[in-house]
Amino acid sequence: MDFQVMLKQKTITAATAAAMVESGWAVDYGASLNQPDVFDAALAERKLALRDVRIRYFLTTKPRKVFESDPEQQHFHGENWHFSAYDRKLYDQGVASYIPFNFGEGPRLYRDYIDVDLAVIKTTPMDKHGYFNFGASTSHVRAICEKAQRVIVETSTALPVCYGVENVIHISEVDAVIEGDNAALTELMNAPVTSADISVANLIIPEIENGACLQIGIGGMPNAVCSALATAPIKDLGIHTEMFVDGMVDLVLAGKVTGAYKSTYRGKIVYTFTQGTQRTYDFLDGNEMCISLPVNETNLTENIARNRKVVSINNAMQIDLMGQVASESAGFKHRTGTGGQLQFVRGAFMSEGGKSFMCLSSRYMKGDQPRSRIVAGHPPGTTITTPRTDVMYVVTEYGMVNLKGKSIPDRVNALISIAHPEDREGLEKQARSSGLLPRRFL
């Protein structure tokens, strides 16, 4: 079989590919860095010929032409699995909806429950064996392609070639190939590390043992943890994570990561997708130490728990005095997504010697007014990402508490103790008036 002949036969223009789309279709753009660009622009050009085209996607890295061209949703509507900053803007404008799910369930959801008329996925150019690589976003993309009635790949030389499982598609499996614009990948710059981030990191570091297996989320606090780990007297760390973040490069280069004590994929860094700087993309490109797995392999609780000493470190937007964590919405206003937080919190606790940490600054600014992230109760409509029954360690710059095994009054007192000092009296009064602190705890 001559793969180059097949490639030539299947290569079409973006305009020809967009002309395949019919009204009422469900078109899947894949995940993060895999979202197509030249096809997206070509599809936007066809908007007047189309109605009710559903676009599914995940963590958009740059503006989408289909939505920019159709703010009234007369032709296209977005359905999103996890919001980026740009996706929040679309949601606030009413252009896109959120689909609730635990990230690790993505492949099964597609294979068992979701219809896809067309999948258009950005990949690396075809290799000599006839394969297109999904790059740094394996996630649930293979499942999307398997379920799709038609599959088109848009190639880009900018994508890193990443080793893994279910992270390629063969020329014989695709209906068409578009040559992309090879534009540089969007970089997600690191949030500035604050003094609160450093304080939180310093509280967590003593809890991490040699040979621990890390899952670290995104943001200033996780970056601060990585920076602190890079200089801490800790060795033989493993990485089994959802998102590969920039700070992990620093850990590897500091000699802290060997994966020697992992039970699964020993010696390998395991992840399902990345968004970061070009330095991270370059690190992953052709790196045999790193293996990109489908998200059910990385995120399902039983897979996480197979490793010992799993340490899960994630951010929270807000936590109430019973321990309910909100990480994805502010009232009815959706901001991010469930992602894999709950699955990693549970997987870490199931792991032998495992620990999970929920990190948040004690306060945030709303306008020019400081507000407490620790609250007596969440506002109406707030989504609970991690239930109170699952939360383990909670960390602010004022301390760390373990909620496991604590009664409601003990949780209330513990969480008040790590709130901002100026908010503690008010929180205690609210706890008393709401009955969270019975008389004997007053």
The one-letter amino acid at 290: C
Report the distance separating Cα 267 and Cα 239, nearest Å.
Answer: 9
Report the distance separating Cα 349 and Cα 356, nearest Å.
Answer: 7
Q: Please give the structure tokens belonging to residue 155.
A: 């190639």
- If one counts every other C-beta atom within 10 angstroms of the C-beta of residue 214, the result is 26
* Strand pairing report for 318-320 and 374-375: parallel
Contact criterion met (CB below 8 Å) for 120 and 39 = yes
Report the distance separating Cα 428 and Cα 182, nearest Å.
Answer: 57
For the chain, give percent helix, strand, coil, nearest 5: 35, 25, 45
Cα Rg, the chain, nearest whole Å: 23
Report the distance separating Cα 186 and Cα 60, nearest Å.
Answer: 10
The one-letter amino acid at 140: H
Contact criterion met (CB below 8 Å) for 281 and 136 = yes
Neighbouring-strand partners of residue 290:
269
The structure tokens 């010992």 sit at: 308
The one-letter amino acid at 229: L
Indicate the helix (H) or strand (E) that contains 121.
strand 118-123
Nearest to 223 by CA among 239, 199, 247, 243: 247
Catalytically active residues, by annotation = 242
Report the distance separating Cα 100 and Cα 391, nearest Å.
Answer: 20
Neighbouring-strand partners of residue 292:
164, 271
